[in-house]
Structure 1
Amino acid sequence: MAGDSQVAGSFMAADYVVIAIMLVVSAGIGVYYAWTSRAQRSSEEFLTGGRKLTALPVSLSLTASFMSSITVLSHPAEVYQYGAIFGLIIIAYVLAIIISSEVFLPVFYRLAITSTNEYLELRFNKATRLIGTVIFIVHAIAFAGVTVYAPALALAQVTEMDLWSGITSTAVVCTLYCTIGGLNAVVWTDVFQIGIMLAGCMSVIIKAVILQGGFFVIYSDSKQGGRLNFWDFDVNPLRRHTFWTLVFGGNAIWTGAYGFYQPQVQRYVSCKSVTHARVALYINMLSLCSFGVFAVIAGMCLYSVYKDCDPWTAGRVSAPDQLMPYLVMDILTDHPGLPGLFFAALYSGSLSTVSSCINGLAAVTLEDLIKPYTNMSEAHLSFTAKGLSFFYGVVSIAMAGLASFMGGMMQAVVSIGGVLGGPLLGLFTLGILCPFANSKGGLSGLVLGLVVSLCVGLGSLISPSPPEMTRPLPLTTEGCNFTTVSSLNWTFAALPTELRPITTTPVQTSEDTHVLAVEWHSPSYLYFSLIGAVTSMTVCVIVSLLTGGWREEVEPSLMLMKEDTMSYHIFKFLKCIVSKKVVAGTRKADLTRDKEAGNTNPAFYDTEL
């Protein structure tokens, strides 16, 4: 029975075969595109696919890039620990995609730039571009390292595979198809891998629903355990998950991800038309929302299975990120190949994300740090782009070794992205929307925004939010069967303490007020990006106005024009329909009036109409 003290199952030959097939097919796609494009020596072709991609593969690639192994592991664990309120992040997905499609996409696509940081130089100056380049490189390397580490750690926990073997295999395959196949290989491997991710996640959910006796049982268990805490409107910024932190803080994070983050922009500007690019974003939005729903259901399944015997509290796993792999090995080992399918999904998520980072890093380094300062031929630039892909693949292996010190994987990734991406979000937004934002304001806003967000991020590490603010939900081991403990070889080192039941109803107490005063530097990790963006925008506006920004003229192509947005054309279309109906109604009224006046000549009606 799942949740008792029985030893979880082990990997079988079929499971290893499934993972091996996924890796071989991914590498094979890279070899295929390397062969078909062998006569094309352009770095543009390598980094952007010749700007000939269509909406569907790009949309799936966009989804795969951010629905990573961290999503598969950490999002259900968040629901298990903190409740289904985490599902409100779906609202942030929708808002972020709409903003990115309406504000950022039209400008970047019109400029046909390979590196988003190029916009910073065109709109502000070279110094701003250089800082933006450094920020992206640091962020992408850290992101890639954590993402490579996640599936390797999970597999090492349930098999005898060495951790570094898992890390190396992921990075080697990813580096191979990125280096030889370019963006085309990255996009089409993402399409293949998103299918593997979906199949792996659904296999766990379906088996858990069958095991528990139906979805209604899982829903009932989650409700009784306080996991269906969808609505919490507490405005306290120190709270980990509330409506405001998830919707507004999450929106800032995901707008940065889809608005200007290099791997995402590099995909949609590679579409053959702006319409394809916009459709790709909206199809991707549906995929993101679907995976968000699956993550909530998976978290509810986790809780239903282990509601009486929490593996984390009992010491069966050392971190919440290992709960999903533990569940897989607990309930799926009677079906050879299905555990392998789930871990193939983890590796697929890792490969898709890391390949995006590697390709983006190669593009940014080539466009921002090499091209402006050299005079290479296209053949040399193409060779350099491939060399950079290989180099960053090796770097991702090294970063994976440091990922073990970052704590919870999802919070680590979101925190890094928020701290580094928030100031850039403010700068790109003002550059596109505000013509008075000048180079002095842009540079000042970026630097000060980065300083503030770094201080907030470091402050949260030094003084993390207390349980009164994070409010984890109660877990128990009362239902565990400890009679066979001697045969399990458990490790009880550094076990988490038993969590007390904590009400999720926001109540402002004197204790909360005290915490707010003392822990002012530890807001929710979801607010890091918003804090950096607001600081950057505020400083940029003030400095720009003080230095005569309102007198400067900006190249129109660098700004958002109303004709660029889909909402403008929708409004224009609706207005046209309404106008036609009004005119038709007026003519019909005139015709009726003439008939009533006794004019029955059909030719007269036609002339009048």
Structure 2
Amino acid sequence: MLGMLMKTTKAQEQGASYMDWKLLPSLPDSFGFAGAFAGVSNNVLLVAGGANFPDGGAPWTGSTKVWYDKVFALDKPGGQWKEAGKLPMPLGYGVSLTWKDAMVCIGGSDAAGHHAKSFLVRYNNGKIETEKLPSLPHPLANGSGVLIGNKAYVIGGTETPQSTEASNVCLSLDLSAPKDQQKWITEKSFPGPSRILAVTGTLNNELYVFSGAHLYKDNADQQLKRKYLKDAWKYNPEKGWQQLADLPEPAVAAPSPAFAFGQSHLLIAGGDHGKLADKNAELKDNHPGFSDIVWSYNTITNTWAQADTVLTEKRSTAAADPNSSTWAPVTTPAVVWNGSLVLPSGEVRPAVRTPKVLMGTPVHPPGKFSWIDWGVVAIYFMLVIGISVFVSRKMESNTSDFFLGGGKIPWWAAGLSIFGSKLSALTFIAIPAKAYATDWVYLLNNLMIVAVAPIVVYFYLPYFRKLKLTSVYEYLQVRFSPAVKITGSLTFVIFQISRLGIVIYLPALVLSAVTGINIFACIIGVSLITTAYSVAGGIEAVVWTEVMQVGVLLGGAFCCLVFIANSLDGGFGQLFSEAASENKFRMAILESDITQPVLWVVLVGGFLTQLVTYSSDQVVVQRYLTTSSEKEARKSIYTNAVLVIPASLIFFMVGTALWVYFRHNPASLNPNGRVDDVFPWYISQELPTGLAGLVIAGLFAATMSTISSSMNSIATVVTTDFYKHFKPSSTDKQQFIFARYTTVVLGALGCLIAIYMVFLNNTSIWDQYLKIIGLFGGCLAGMFLAGIFFPKINSRGVMAGFVVSAIALYFIQDSGAINFFLYPAAAVLLCVTTAYIVSLIAPDKKQPLRAV
């Protein structure tokens, strides 16, 4: 098993901090409570029950522990606690969770013993309301639990105060089930040592169990003792239990559940490492308190690192007056309140409680970029501007030059441009992140262009060239009708404008994080420069800047790969051996589940995804038409197809290399980041000065190539399919001017959408919107396939096919019946089948363009 691997990193040397700690108002109690319940109800923080020694004493002074039923409420961080009600009985040391608008209380103990009761606590209009839940199968205290979706899980604990052995049964309760059907279910038995006071957690709907204390009787004196554990486990209902890397040290009774940090980390704040357990009676008031280390577990690399420390302030009066100091607490729940981690009250040294409440808010360390890095980026921008100025001087003021470059683009440049237009900044970020987090299963999706290229060359390209199209959707008018063309064009324009905002916003978000530039400056700067050269030089400027950008993009990524490998002790050999041993190079899932990316799903879906892109996307097809002949266009298509192979290998290998690197350097990864941030984070924190600038320039290049391609293609479609349609008498000069103005408007619109998304501060709505709109891509490809291969399909049929497939795909997506790779296959099949049937029922008198 992989143990903890740590070394000093640049982030640590710079004093990077991932949590901003502060004190909330203290509980209105002189001593505070251990074992209290805590949660959130209607956005109000609740702390209830627990126990303390009301005379400030300890077991060794003869003091008696007292349990409480008071419920305290805090409506905002700067507010004041108030006593809002009572629990059904004095209770503490149970499991407490937050579910919807209620605090869930499970089990616990009082002076009489342990209990099996479970109930909900809600805060409504300043008052406390409780609601019964099914009781546990047996009494339980000192256990731990977590909420996964609507299911509450409980593990560990003891059934009585006199128990000499803890439980290892894992129980679950579906809180969303009807009341008469709710019951505790026994899950697969926990295989590790039985334990109390463990820490549980969850990420990606999986249950994690960390540390805890195993109870046993000492053979010598028959006294009940604790073994402080540092093992870790993961539970998936379908796959069962799996042992993980051990913690660096035990974290018994640390606040639980573990804090889900970012998308791939779980944080454990403090805990009792047990090193002083045998000296408690001797140390008494001189006990230094429990650990303040915040441990971070990376669920992807299965490694541990120190992420932070809990806020502490030990004063000289700490021994006699512990409340004057701030300590790291144990035996208290961890509560997530408005995105922050709250540690309410708890035990700060044996028998001593605290009324203080700590709150830690996740923060991102600022990006660091040197002036040399900025110099490299500046050189890149000067090259972009220089190319656009040079090209704009040669461009004629006509639509042929603006849209098609006068048909004089060399085949190799057109091929590089096709590649550059489809390799967006999202791909630059997402492919390494996917390989880092999983494996190489998605590689085959990229490589299917090799199978699609000959089909496009021999079946689609001759039509596009023979008809001398400017907009690919003009084919739909020639083959079917103006209404079909308008439908296809409008679908493309809506999708691309929506995508334009996304491809500006998300890279700007990453660039802002890693460089420290204001995000609005990133958005506006990139938008202005890209719009300027797109307007000045048209498609020719777009193509030639993309040629340069592809070089920067691939060169930066390759240099980064070499640097990562060389930073490993064993170089590329270590990279390949470690990744292979953990199956990180897996390229196929040999199963038959249609909802998963199994081999045949990826092959079929990847083939049709590439067919959609290379047969019906104006951004790509427009490049076919910039060359001087069909032969040159064929070469450009094959150039792109061949280039995809090494490029995909580089980016997937970068992701795998990042996994190996962060496996050995877990402390250097931002635990608060998204998985998609892993490559940009490495660039900003670990690459040497100059090389970081080159790779960030590559990220700018990927962003700008996508933006410029989209803007020019949208302007082409809007001018050709809409402006000329509604103003057929317009001159070529008027169309050229309109196209330029349209490009400016598109640049401004994309910029505004990206800025709006910053204020929205939530991309999920946009992601969902784009996913729905993106479904139309398969329907659009179905229209082209129907037109080229099925001569009997008419305009009525193809319109019906488009509508039926779009509606059906919406419900297919909502149901999750198939993997998203199969969306294009379903779209094409539904569109063509429906179109064929409708065309047979309602034949069109118009003689269609002959299909192949």
**TM bucket normalised to smaller:** 0.7 to 0.9
Deviation at 1:319, TM superposition (A): 1.2
2:466 is equivalent to residue 110 of structure 1:
yes
1:500-527: CA deviation from partner (whole Å, max 9, x where unpaired): xxxxxxxxxxxxxxxxxxxx43532222
2:588 is equivalent to residue 234 of structure 1:
no
Match of 2:677 in 1: 322
Match of 1:297 in 2: 653
2:847 is equivalent to residue 553 of structure 1:
yes
Q: Please point out which of 832, 839, 845 is paired with 1:537.
A: 832
Q: Closer, same or farther in 2 for the Cα pair 1:547/1:132, shift >3 Å?
A: same
Match of 1:361 in 2: 714
CA distance in 2 between partners of 1:2 and 1:215 (Å): 22
Match of 2:791 in 1: 435
Match of 1:339 in 2: 692
Q: Closer, same or farther in 2 for the Cα pair 1:145/1:277, shift >3 Å?
A: same
Aligned length: 489
CA distance in 2 between partners of 1:16 and 1:4 (Å): 19
Superposed counterparts of 1:368-387, under 5 Å = 368-374=721-727, 375-387=729-741
Q: Closer, same or farther in 2 for the Cα pair 1:305/1:343, shift >3 Å?
A: same
Deviation at 1:199, TM superposition (A): 1.3
User: Does structure 2 retain, via aligned residues, the 8 Å contact 1:418–1:526?
Assistant: no
Q: Closer, same or farther in 2 for the Cα pair 1:291/1:417, shift >3 Å?
A: farther
Deviation at 1:12, TM superposition (A): 0.3
Q: Please point out which of 26, 34, 41 is paired with 2:392.
A: 34
Match of 2:574 in 1: 217
Deviation at 1:233, TM superposition (A): 2.5
* SS of residue in 1 equivalent to 2:442: helix
Q: Please point out which of 71, 93, 100 is paired with 2:449.
A: 93
1:308-348: CA deviation from partner (whole Å, max 9, x where unpaired): 56579x7534211110011112321xx32111111100110
Letter in 1 for 2:825: L
User: Does structure 2 retain, via aligned residues, the 8 Å contact 1:321–1:408?
Assistant: no
CA distance in 1 between partners of 2:8 and 2:511 (Å): 20
Q: State the superposition RMSD in angstroms.
A: 2.3
User: Does structure 2 retain, via aligned residues, the 8 Å contact 1:97–1:281?
Assistant: yes
2:510 is equivalent to residue 154 of structure 1:
yes
- Of 357-366 and 11-20, deviating more is 11-20
User: Does structure 1 retain, via aligned residues, the 8 Å contact 2:478–2:849?
Assistant: no
Letter in 2 for 1:320: V
| Higher RCO by CA contacts (8 Å cutoff, separation 6 or greater) | 1
Among the aligned pairs, what percent are the same residue?
Answer: 26
User: Does structure 1 retain, via aligned residues, the 8 Å contact 2:447–2:644?
Assistant: no
Match of 2:550 in 1: 194
Q: Please point out which of 727, 741, 748 is paired with 1:394.
A: 748
CA distance in 1 between partners of 2:737 and 2:399 (Å): 8
* SS of residue in 2 equivalent to 1:85: coil
2:612 is equivalent to residue 259 of structure 1:
no
* SS of residue in 2 equivalent to 1:84: coil
User: Does structure 2 retain, via aligned residues, the 8 Å contact 1:175–1:393?
Assistant: yes
Superposed counterparts of 1:302-313, under 5 Å = 302-307=658-663
Letter in 2 for 1:100: V
1:431-454: CA deviation from partner (whole Å, max 9, x where unpaired): 011110111101101111122223
Letter in 2 for 1:15: D
Q: Closer, same or farther in 2 for the Cα pair 1:311/1:30, shift >3 Å?
A: farther
Deviation at 1:2, TM superposition (A): 7.7
* SS of residue in 2 equivalent to 1:318: coil
1:420-474: CA deviation from partner (whole Å, max 9, x where unpaired): 20001111001011110111101101111122223334x2xxxxxxxxxxxxxxx
* SS of residue in 1 equivalent to 2:448: helix
Deviation at 1:28, TM superposition (A): 2.4
Normalising by structure 2, what TM-score?
0.55
Deviation at 1:149, TM superposition (A): 2.0
* SS of residue in 1 equivalent to 2:725: helix
Deviation at 1:400, TM superposition (A): 2.3
CA distance in 1 between partners of 2:633 and 2:386 (Å): 27
Task: Write 1 or 2 for the structure with the bigger share of strand.
Answer: 2
CA distance in 2 between partners of 1:326 and 1:98 (Å): 39
User: Does structure 2 retain, via aligned residues, the 8 Å contact 1:441–1:543?
Assistant: yes
Letter in 1 for 2:435: V
CA distance in 2 between partners of 1:80 and 1:170 (Å): 28
User: Does structure 2 retain, via aligned residues, the 8 Å contact 1:435–1:553?
Assistant: no
CA distance in 2 between partners of 1:95 and 1:145 (Å): 32
CA distance in 1 between partners of 2:392 and 2:726 (Å): 28
CA distance in 1 between partners of 2:833 and 2:701 (Å): 40
Q: Closer, same or farther in 2 for the Cα pair 1:453/1:399, shift >3 Å?
A: farther
2:400 is equivalent to residue 14 of structure 1:
no
- Of 375-384 and 223-232, deviating more is 223-232
Deviation at 1:99, TM superposition (A): 2.2
* SS of residue in 1 equivalent to 2:748: helix
1:103-139: CA deviation from partner (whole Å, max 9, x where unpaired): 2111111111111111111111122111111110111
CA distance in 2 between partners of 1:311 and 1:328 (Å): 15
CA distance in 2 between partners of 1:330 and 1:300 (Å): 18
CA distance in 2 between partners of 1:250 and 1:266 (Å): 22
* SS of residue in 1 equivalent to 2:847: coil
Deviation at 1:413, TM superposition (A): 10
Q: Closer, same or farther in 2 for the Cα pair 1:287/1:412, shift >3 Å?
A: farther
User: Does structure 2 retain, via aligned residues, the 8 Å contact 1:329–1:339?
Assistant: yes
Match of 2:326 in 1: none
Q: Closer, same or farther in 2 for the Cα pair 1:14/1:3, shift >3 Å?
A: closer
1:213-235: CA deviation from partner (whole Å, max 9, x where unpaired): 32121112212333122221322
User: Does structure 1 retain, via aligned residues, the 8 Å contact 2:412–2:636?
Assistant: yes
Match of 1:50 in 2: 406
User: Does structure 1 retain, via aligned residues, the 8 Å contact 2:515–2:684?
Assistant: no
1:348-395: CA deviation from partner (whole Å, max 9, x where unpaired): 011111111000000000011110111212221111110011111111
Q: Which has the larger radius of gyration?
A: 2
Match of 1:581 in 2: none
Letter in 1 for 2:696: F
CA distance in 2 between partners of 1:337 and 1:103 (Å): 47
* SS of residue in 2 equivalent to 1:102: helix
Match of 2:501 in 1: 145
Task: Write 1 or 2 for the structure with the bigger share of helix.
Answer: 1
2:477 is equivalent to residue 182 of structure 1:
no
Letter in 2 for 1:381: Q
User: Does structure 2 retain, via aligned residues, the 8 Å contact 1:448–1:535?
Assistant: yes
Q: Closer, same or farther in 2 for the Cα pair 1:2/1:324, shift >3 Å?
A: farther
1:27-62: CA deviation from partner (whole Å, max 9, x where unpaired): 22222222222xx22112211111122201000000
Q: Closer, same or farther in 2 for the Cα pair 1:337/1:105, shift >3 Å?
A: same
Superposed counterparts of 1:495-574, under 5 Å = 520-548=815-843, 553-556=847-850, 559-560=851-852
1:509-553: CA deviation from partner (whole Å, max 9, x where unpaired): xxxxxxxxxxx435322222222221111111111122236x863
User: Does structure 1 retain, via aligned residues, the 8 Å contact 2:480–2:848?
Assistant: no
CA distance in 1 between partners of 2:684 and 2:582 (Å): 24
Q: Closer, same or farther in 2 for the Cα pair 1:407/1:338, shift >3 Å?
A: farther
